[in-house]
Amino acid sequence: MSVNGHKKITSDEIHLWFAFPDEIEDESLLEQYRLLLSPDETERHQRFYFPKHRHQFLVAHALVRTMLSRFSGTAPEKLRFVKNRYGRPEIEAAEASPPIRFNLTHTDGLIACAVALNHDVGVDVEDMERKAITPGLAERFFSGPEVEDLSHLPKPEKQNRFFDYWTLKESYIKARGMGLSIPLEQFSFHLKDNKPLRISFDPRIEDDPDRWRFWLMRPTRRHKAALSVRSGGRTAYRLFSKKIVPLWKAHDFACNIIKHSNIL
């Protein structure tokens, strides 16, 4: 599959593209990525001290620009962004552009970008080999029911479940576009094996759990990913995932979906 060309997106589609920065080393391709950056992005790119972080930033921004170009019809280098009051970037409003929403995330070894039409979307990826899980981490960030659930799990299962909660909670607050102004302990995910994935809210959070759809995924052995979408109704979404080398190639990516709450 070519990553070039304009593709229409419909309101029941979610597109999730993954890039693996450690596999992208061709210098001529990286130079093309640099040419896509805005002056502000170029300045931010050059400020990173470590080459690894500069490389990750470059691939991530090439990914988001080429992905948004494909679904908006605007050349990747011509896309312009604005930020909301909490710092979340959005495509600068243009009368001729479709109302595309997107979210970009990255961790060691993996970058992901999610795109939807009209609906708020958030994605999070985490490297489970990178973060040390200490006894107090869940108590600090998770809700009472989530902490209670973790407390009853045998030790080998705790880390796996911790990252289930962590990625889901991060994807939700990113979809809301309000960052950590939403306290993580004021909403809970429920992960019972025989039940669909769902969320509940503390009365202090004004939100409707029935409007949200979630996916929990395992894109690689070492990575967890979660996707949150604010639905406009009882939409049965179609999720399309691909592995991408921006400006070069793409193919379907069989991302292992562990659990979801989609209406089928």
All structural domains of the chain with their residue ranges: 13-260
263 confidence band (pLDDT: 50, 70, 90) = low
Identify whether the C-beta of residue 213 lies closer than 8 Å to the C-beta of residue 229: yes
- String of DSSP letters for 64-113: HHHHHHHHH-S-GGG--EEE-TTS-EEEPP-TTS--EEEEEEEETTEEEE
Spatial separation of the C-alpha atoms in residues 46 and 61, rounded to whole Å: 13
Minimal CA–CA distance to 243: which of 59, 102, 33, 10?
Answer: 59
Count of C-beta atoms within a 10 Å radius of residue 244: 25
Q: Is the pLDDT of residue 3 over 60?
A: no
* Partners of 90 in the β-ladder: 82
pLDDT at 97: 65
Three-class DSSP category at 169: helix
pLDDT for 124 beyond 70: yes
pLDDT, one tens digit per residue, over 34-81 is 999 999 999 999 999 999 999 999 999 999 999 999 999 999 999 999
Per CATH, which fold does 13-260 belong to?
Ribosomal Protein L22; Chain A (3.90.470)
Give the total residue count for the chain. 264
| The pLDDT value given to residue 96 | 45
In this model, does residue 32 exceed pLDDT 50? yes
Taking the CA atoms of the chain, what radius of gyration do you get in angstroms?
18
> Is-contact 107 223, C-beta < 8 A?
yes
Q: Which of 30, 102, 35, 41 is nearest to 71 (CA)?
A: 102
Q: Is the pLDDT of residue 135 over 70?
A: no
**What's the pLDDT at 7?**
84
What is the chain's mean pLDDT, rounded?
Answer: 91
Taking the C-alpha atoms of residue 150 and residue 139, their distance in angstroms, rounded to an integer, is: 10
Render pLDDT for 217-255 as a digit per residue (tens, 0 to 9).
Answer: 999 999 999 999 998 766 689 999 999 999 999 999 989
Beta carbons within 8 Å of 158's beta carbon, 6+ residues apart: 133, 150
- Which one has a higher pLDDT value, 192 or 135? 192
- Tokens standing for residue 12: 């029941």
More confident residue, 89 or 94: 89
